[in-house]
Structures are given as C-alpha cells and as structure tokens.
Amino acid sequence: EQLAATIVFQTHTSVTFCDAEVDHYMARTSGFYQYQFKKTYPKRDPEAFAGLLAMDFDWELEPPIKLRWRLMARLKMLQRGNDPEYGYAYLCYLHAIASRDNPELANVYAEMALDMLVYGCQKHFPFAENDLLQIAPPRLPDANWMNRRNRKGWSSYWASHKS
C-alpha cells in the first residue's frame, strides 16, 4: 500500500526516499522489504527513486525460511501451547541467529520475532528466555550483530516480561 500510494503521490507532488523508519503495529515483513530496497538501491538519490517506481517487482514477499527451522518452530509451537504466533517468533529467532554473518538480515529477523511476541501473541510466555537464549537478557549484550533499535526493543520486552 505504501509503494502504491507513493506512485500515485509522485504524479502530483515531489517524493523521495526517507531514511526515518516508521513503526507499524505489526511489521511482520516490512523490515524485509526495506532490506531488499537497501540492497537494490544502496545509493538513495532521486535517480534511484525513479528507478524504484519504474521497476517490475520480483522481490520475495517473505524472507526465505528453511524447512529444518520450520519443523523446529512447529515442534516448539506444539510444546508451548500450540500458539502459532509464538512458533513464528521462534522461527524468526532461529533465522536471526543463523544470519548473524549478515547483520542487516539478522536484524530483520530479530525485529520480526519481537513484533510477533509484542503484537501477535495474546499472552506472556515465561519460557521465552530459555527458548530465545541467544538474545535473552544474560546474552543480549553479547549480540554484537544486533542494531541499537532492536537491542532497545528486546531490552524493553525482557524488562516488561520479567518472570
């Protein structure tokens, strides 16, 4: 919707890239779209923006998800009360940890996991610290791949969900 609105607006006014990020109530894949934008258009100028508007989109709608981790997340979901949002948060966590060598992508997955826990799940999961051990409070300071925004979000989440 945002891109469609941008295309319409650009016919009547001047539009350009915006580096400021907007938090959605549940940005499940918006971070992945931004990741693809940044990879496709590393130079953020009017020419790149015009190219973006003229582009045929063949981007992935969802980040790639490995079958092995889908199965692990399904098992975790079943173990933890059959909550699909928790299962998806766990799946994103697995991908974030596995993507640490690509911090930008790892942060996309970490943000998706956090969004699912904060906005998708209807309850608090006291076992989350054990399940998400690599980014739980004792190890969060060591997650040097994580950007400041994600680190702040996870710190707030853990602080508000102390067991």
pLDDT band at 126 (very low <50, low <70, confident <90, very high): confident
Three-state SS at 86: helix
Residue of 89, 128, 124, 125 lying closest to 109 (CA atoms): 89
The b/e string for 58-88 (b: 16+ C-beta within 10 A; e otherwise) is eeeeebeeeeebeeebeebbeeeeebebbbb
Per the CB < 8 A criterion, the answer to whether 109 and 95 are in contact is yes
Contact 36, 59 (CB under 8 A): yes
Find out whether 97 and 3 touch, Cβ atoms under 8 Å.
Answer: no
Closest CA to 123 of 73, 86, 78: 86
In this predicted model, what pLDDT tens digit does every residue of 86-111 receive, in sequence order? 999 999 999 999 999 999 999 999 99
What's the pLDDT at 20?
57
Q: CA-to-CA distance for 69 and 65, rounded, in angstroms? A: 7
pTM score, two decimals? 0.69
When comparing pLDDT for 34 and 139, which is higher? 139
Q: State pLDDT tens for residues 22-60.
A: 554 445 556 766 777 777 667 767 777 677 667 655 666
The stretch 67-73 carries a mean pLDDT of 88
Can you state the angle between helices 67-79 and 84-98, rounded to 10 degrees? 140
Averaged pLDDT of the chain: 81
- What is the C-alpha separation between 67 and 72, in angstroms, rounded? 9
